[in-house]
Structure 1
Amino acid sequence: MYWVWMLIVSLIAGVIFGPLARLVLPGKQNISLGWTILGGGIGAFAGGLIAKALGVKDTSGPDWIQYLIQIACAAVVVAIISSRKGSKTAA
C-alpha cells in the first residue's frame, strides 16, 4: 500500500517538480506540459526512493534534502524526455 501512496503523491508532486526541473535545465525543452508533469512525477518517485534508501525521509519537519533529490531526479528525467522528443521532431 505504501508504494501506491508514494506513486500517487509523486504524480501530484510532478505538477510542481516538473516545471522546477525545466527551470534548472539550460536551454529550451521542446516537450509539452503533460510530458513535463509526467517526467516530474517519475523523477519525484525515483528521488523519493533514493531519499528513502539514504535515510533522508526519517527526519522531522520538511525534508528539504529529499525535495532537492527529487528535483534533481526530475531534471534528469525531463532532460531525457526532452532529448528523445526533440530528436524525433528534428528528424
Structure 2
Amino acid sequence: MTVSGFITAIVIGAIIGLLGRLFAPGKQNISILVTILVGIVAALLGTALASAVSSADTAGIDWVEILFQVVLAVIGVTLAARMLGGRRR
C-alpha cells in the first residue's frame, strides 16, 4: 500500500466511522481511534460486499457501496461500544 493509499484509507475510514457513530443508537463510550479503525474495516468490508453483490461499474458515486459501508460501520461501532465502552453510574 502506498502512502497516499494509507492516508486515503484513514480519511475514508474516519468519515465512515463517524457516520456509523452518528447513526448508531445510544451513547458510545469509545475513542475516536476505535471509531476510525471500525470505519476502516467497515469501508473495506463494504467495498468487498458491494462488489460481490453488484457487478455493475458505476460512473460517479456508488451509493450501494456507501450504504453497505455505513451500515457495517453502525454495526461495528455498536459492537465496539458494547465490548470496549465503560459503564458509568
Decide whether the 8 Å contact of 1:25 with 1:79 is kept in 2.
yes
TM-score (norm 1): 0.80
Q: What is the rounded CA distance, in whole Å, between the counterparts of 1:46 and 1:53 in structure 2? A: 10
Number of aligned positions between the proteins: 84
How far apart in 1 are the matches of 2:76 and 2:55?
21
Structure 2 letter corresponding to 1:76: I
For the 8 Å contact 1:18–1:38, the answer to whether it is kept is: yes
Q: Which runs of 4+ in 1 moved over 2 A?
A: 7-12
Quote the residue 2:12 is aligned against.
13
Deviation (angstroms), 1:62: 0.8
| Structure 1: runs of 5 or more not aligned | none
Aligned-residue Cα RMSD (Å) equals: 1.9
Conserved? CA contact 1:57–1:66, under 8 Å: no
Normalization by structure 2: what TM-score?
A: 0.81
Greater displacement, 25-34 / 48-57 = 48-57
Question: Percent identity among equivalent residues?
Answer: 37
Q: Where does structure 2 lack aligned partners over 5 or more consecutive residues?
A: none
**Higher normalized contact order (CA 8 Å, seq sep 6+, divided by chain length):** 2
